């Protein structure tokens, strides 16, 4: 079984694109740190891909810095060379479930978090539904 849970903060506002056939693809950049010695653990950046419109209402509340929990299927890591010539690893996940995080609330979201939390159960979908919609079509990712 390939399932991973990522808890972190958005490093940028959600990006929405469309495939050539009109399929909606939303990308979240999630920064996650290890649980031990937070100052020593490097930040791991994840690209979380949402296929379709299943979390549209929830995504509208997200912005850079928002705490988030992503559950989904981890994709094969990609290795690339950065501008300085160092090898880097790109981690990505296809989103199956998406939650507002109960931890790490930024100051600006304290009042709106409780209101947003009520949307959580309505906006989460089962992993099976997300996997079917993500792999139902053989399409290129537009980025």
76-128 pLDDT per residue, tens: 999 988 899 988 888 999 999 999 988 765 544 444 444 444 444 434 444 44
Q: How big is the chain by its Cα radius of gyration, in Å?
A: 15
Residue 6 has pLDDT above 80, yes or no: yes
Domain at 4-135, CATH class: mainly beta
Residue 129 has pLDDT above 60, yes or no: no
What confidence tier does 33 reach under pLDDT thresholds 50, 70, 90? confident
Tell me how far apart the alpha carbons of residues 31 and 9 are, in angstroms, rounded to a whole number. 5
Query: Which sequence spans correspond to the domains of the chain?
Result: 4-135
For residue 37, the model assigns a pLDDT of 52
Tell me how far apart the alpha carbons of residues 57 and 40 are, in angstroms, rounded to a whole number. 36
């Amino acid at each position: 079984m390939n399932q991973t849970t990522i808890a972190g903060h958005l490093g940028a506002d959600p990006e929405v694109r469309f495939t050539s056939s009109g399929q909606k693809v939303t990308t979240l950049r999630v920064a996650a740190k290890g649980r031990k010695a937070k100052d020593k653990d490097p930040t791991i950046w994840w690209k979380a891909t949402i296929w379709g419109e299943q979390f549209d209402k929830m995504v509208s509340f997200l912005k850079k810095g928002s705490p988030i929990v992503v559950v989904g299927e981890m994709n094969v890591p990609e290795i690339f060379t950065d501008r300085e010539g160092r090898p880097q690893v790109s981690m990505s996940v296809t989103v199956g479930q998406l939650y507002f995080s109960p931890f790490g609330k930024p100051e600006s979201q304290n009042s709106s978090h409780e209101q947003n939390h009520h949307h959580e159960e309505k906006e989460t979908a089962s992993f099976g539904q997300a996997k079917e919609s993500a792999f139902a079509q053989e399409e290129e990712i537009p980025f």
